[in-house]
Amino acid sequence: MAYILVYSIITVLSVLIASTLAVVIARRLYMERIYRRLDRERARFSGLPAALAARRAVVYLSPYRHRPLSAGWVAVEEGLFKAFDSGGGPEAARLFDQLGYADYYMETIKSGNRWEQAMAAERLGHMRCKRALPLIVEAFESPNTDLRLMAIHAAGRMGDSMVLPALVKIMKSAVLRSEEVSKKILASSIISFGALASRPLVEELSCPDWRVRAACLNLLGEIGGAGLGPLFLKLLDDPEQDVRAKAARGLGRIRCAVAAEKLEACLDDRYWVVRLHAARALGLIREKRSEPALVAKLVDRNWQVRRAVSEALSRIGGTAYMELLKVFIDSPDQYARDQALDELARSGVAAALLSMLPRGGARHIVLKEVLATDVNGGARPEVLVDMLVFLSSLDEETLSLALTAMQLTIDASGVEGIVASSGSIMEFGVRNRGEACAE
């Protein structure tokens, strides 16, 4: 009896394994057949994107008509989408409409399953189907999260500004509910409208909830535009720290030079995030008058602010390098010294300073070899320290001139420019340092 039971179990398992294997093989053969057919159709319509990009109109549509989701349908669709990305958008949009793709996907949004609906919205957005816009806007309120998010993305691709009020309204709701995924997709969609999105976003800056004000400021900063400067300046006085930080960030993005004085005042804000973005903004604006205010914050109690300040000084360049050098040599604050040293090491200054040393001497050879062994491309701290000590022997005026000339060379032609002009830089160093760096 036990033998029969074991035999029956083995038989059943064998049948199940054989059946499963047969199904897998059959499915694989079936899929290979589909892929071969799809490859043939792709080859058949491979010239379509180039033809549309060359502005050649397709007159006879019969060769391009296929049953939805068949190999020919998919191949033509892929070709039309490629045409969108290569300059043939207008003719591709016409073909999408006349070949039935738009109608098919519009119907799918109404009656497909949740995944099909989301895919249909994505396709309609990609083909810029303006006929589908009312359906896309209606999908903003769909309980199907995937469809809703894809409809928002599609609306941004379509580029019709009539949807902006609805998108901003949804963004407010997403911000208040802390829906991170929705906020990211909404931000991308709204930013795609560029300057057209500025007005509805500006109108929301009077919202009593600071989270909405901060979100709108963030988007306005991404969009940019010199006309936003006064608005950002006004919001530097907002009672909420995150709004002030976003305003400072926006001022940096639009390079608002008239904001420098107020941004310098923000370096003393009680909240580190505001000080951080104020420092970054000043670095982007590159106003030399801001150097003393930035140098004073190299001893900020927050390390992220210290790093932002040193990066800002590096961006300003020229005499700001001298300020970093002074901090390294003279400051009693170890944090400030380390931060100045790190930024000078990252900035490529060490390679330029090396070129100021006399060639052929043992000191120059050793330093050059040590610098060359750094696989990361930056300066090793000990190399930079040696070079900074060398430069510290120069008087302030000469040092300022040397670093300003060096920074101008960097800005003009990169590190290659420094290498190409190393002879003149070396001559300048030899002429001005006297006996300070004698071997």
Number of domains in the chain: 2
Quick one: 308 and 392 in the same domain?
no
Task: Give the pLDDT band (50/70/90) at residue 335.
Answer: confident
Q: Which of 226-235, 332-341, 388-397 has the highest mean pLDDT?
A: 226-235
Question: CA 137 to CA 326: how far, in whole Å?
Answer: 59
Domain residues for 281?
229-316
The pLDDT assigned to 18 comes to: 77
At 147-201, the pLDDT tens digits run 999 999 999 988 888 899 999 999 988 888 888 888 889 989 999 998 898 899 9
Could you tell me if residue 16 is inside a domain?
no
Q: Which of 266, 301, 316 is the last residue of a domain?
A: 316
**Dihedral angle, C-alpha 276, 263, 291, 313, nearest 10 °:** 30
| Residue partners of 317: CB distance under 8 A and separation at least 6 | 286, 407, 410, 411
Residue 418 has pLDDT above 50, yes or no: no
Provide the percentage of residues in the chain whose pLDDT is more than 90.
Answer: 25
Q: Residue 382: its pLDDT value, please? A: 52
Is residue 415 pLDDT above 50, yes or no?
no
User: Could you give phi then psi for residue 173, rounded to 5 degrees?
Assistant: -65, -40
232 within 8 A of 255, measured Cβ to Cβ: no
- Give the tokens for residue 373: 């062994």
User: Is residue 303 assigned to a domain?
Assistant: yes
Contact 187, 161 (CB under 8 A): no
| CATH code, domain carrying 257 | 1.25.10.10
Is 90 exceeded by the pLDDT of residue 262? Answer: yes
Q: How far apart are CA 410 and CA 407, in angstroms?
A: 5
Q: Taking Cα atoms as reference points, which of 166, 194, 171 lies closest to residue 182? A: 171
Confidence of residue 393 (pLDDT cuts 50, 70, 90): low
424 in any annotated domain: yes
Would you state the pLDDT for residue 417? 38
- Residue 44 is assigned to a structural domain of this protein: no
Q: What is the pLDDT of residues 88-127, one digit of tens each?
A: 888 888 888 888 999 999 999 988 888 999 999 999 998 8
Q: Which amino acid is at 99?
A: L
What Å distances lie between residue 209 and 87, 216, 218, CA to CA? 43, 11, 15
Location of structure tokens 């760096």: 437
- The DSSP symbol for 62 reads G
Claim to verify: residue 365 and residue 438 sit in the same structural domain: yes
Q: Check whether residue 352 and residue 310 sit in a common domain.
A: no
Of 316, 336, 363, which residue is a domain's last?
316
Provide the mean pLDDT of the chain.
78
402 in a domain, yes or no?
Answer: yes
Tell me if the pTM is above 0.85: no
Residue 363 lies in a domain: yes
Q: Locate tokens 């053969």: which residue? A: 29
